[in-house]
Amino acid sequence: MKRIKWSISALLLVLTSLWLLADTLAPTPFTYFSFRTVLIQFTGVISMGAMSVAMLLAVRPKWLEPYLGGLDKMYRLHKWLGITGLAVSIIHWWWAQGTKWMVGWGWLVKPARKPAANEAQGMMETWLRGQRGLAESLGEWAFYAVVALIALALIKRVPYHLFTKTHKWLAAFYLILVYHTLVLFRFAYWSQPVGWCMAALMLGGTGAALIALSGRIGASQRTQGRIESLTYYPELRVLETSIQLQDDWVGHDAGQFAFVTSNKREGAHPYTIASAWNPKDRRIIFITKALGDHTSKLHDNLKVDQAVTVEGPYGCFDFHDQRPRQIWIGAGIGITPFIARMQHRAQNPSAQIIDLFHPTADFEQAAIDKLTADAQAGNVRLHLLVSGNDGRLDADFIRNTVPEWRLASIWFCGPPGFGQALRENFVAHGFAEADFHQEVFQLR
């Protein structure tokens, strides 16, 4: 989470610093309207800068994953940049639109327009000035649309497929806001660092928006496959899907995830990969739990030999470190990346000592037998805790079970709140926060 906070803080600091090199929030003379002018410019820079970076992250650039901790963290950063951009744009909108209302209500008196200075204006500046009315109008309506679409994205009750379809249109309204910014951005800024920075960000954001609108996000990472087998565990409400992939799949590390499309109308859904990669059989396995509308219907909708599209792999939850031992915590369906890693260890034996804790509310003997077999093959000590029988898993239980916990790194996949509570408890006991790895598998 620190990378996300630092990334947002760094972006806001850079944009603010560059803007302050070009202008000031204390104009002379300092009046309501002079302050309004510079504040609108400043908030426009911050909101469009944040939205531009959010748009760039939306196209899933793999080269950024190592720096930001994986696509799951990148999407969390995307979310908070969107919220930041929205919050600042509300301030921007109020000072622009609210002032007009207050003048109309008689609360404020608009100062007389100064005579135009006898300054030579280039063709571009003249053209931009002529576009101001249209840019203001389009920007206002685009702002209302963006507010509605971001609100839909934040409401978890909105089905995932509806979220993805409506969220895509943010790219179109972003392009309108780029036009709004190009026209209303103070012309003198373009010759200064703040203008160069905003030009680069909006150019990159425009390219990303066009990729999104054309449906080309992740296109270079896609491969085709066919469902080879389906195994359903009714007590767990879990479906295991084995897919045979074509030759263009590049392989994956245990712990990564991919987007799978089985129905074009439904679109792609992200799932953690639950198998180690073997280029000889080119098989990939996903284990999905019925947690929503889409996953609840997979058991009925998927068929053997059905064609699917797999996009990926993504993520940096890869178990790579130099610690002599690791503690794995796979809560509920969060066990999936650890299954893949155990299979990898079976193929590539390691002296690293592993303790796997698997708390679960559901129990099915066939699934537990497979998990136990994977643990034995991968030389992993499995600690199974079934709710109602074995008590509750907490940090004290882990420390008592693994006395050498200070020598280990911790890898957690499961409910975010549970992971955060464990992280805080271990850090409070002197554990290095950098050694606590948590997959943030919430892409909205």
Angle at 123 between CA 118 and CA 124, to 5 degrees: 110
Q: Is residue 63 pLDDT above 70, yes or no?
A: yes
Distance CA 18, CA 270 (A): 38
Q: Is residue 443 pLDDT above 80, yes or no?
A: no
Tally the domains of the chain.
3
Share of the chain above pLDDT 90, in %: 76
CATH number of the domain residue 243 falls in: 2.40.30.10
pLDDT in tens, 334-358: 999 999 999 999 999 999 999 999 9
Please provide the average confidence, as pLDDT, over all residues in the chain. 92
237: left (phi over 0), alpha (psi -120 to 50) or beta: left
Identify the domain boundary among 193, 213, 233.
Answer: 213
At 114, the pLDDT band (50, 70, 90 cuts) reads low
The whole-number pLDDT of residue 118 equals 47
Give the mean model confidence (pLDDT) for residues 299-318. 94
The whole-number pLDDT of residue 409 equals 97
429 lies in a domain? yes
Q: Is residue 316 pLDDT above 80, yes or no?
A: yes
CATH number of the domain residue 79 falls in: 1.20.120
Name which of 169-173, 252-256, 288-292, 382-386 the model is least confident about.
288-292
CATH number of the domain residue 355 falls in: 3.40.50.80
Q: Is residue 115 pLDDT above 70, yes or no?
A: no
Identify the domain boundary among 259, 280, 314.
Answer: 314
pLDDT in tens, 239-262: 999 999 998 898 999 999 999 999
Asked whether residue 208 falls in the same domain as residue 232, the answer is: no
The whole-number pLDDT of residue 18 equals 98
pLDDT in tens, 116-156: 554 556 777 788 788 889 999 999 999 999 999 998 888 87
Identify the domain boundary among 192, 213, 234.
Answer: 213
Give the mean model confidence (pLDDT) for residues 97-118. 81
The whole-number pLDDT of residue 304 equals 96
The whole-number pLDDT of residue 59 equals 95
Helices and strands (DSSP H and E) totals, the chain:
15, 11
pLDDT in tens, 218-247: 999 999 999 999 999 988 889 999 999 998
Question: Residue 360: which domain range?
Answer: 325-438
Share of the chain above pLDDT 70, in %: 97
Q: Is 322 helix (H, G, I), strand (E, B) or coil?
A: coil
Pick from 11, 83, 7: which is nearest to 45 by CA? 11
Strand 436-438 with 408-413, pairing: parallel
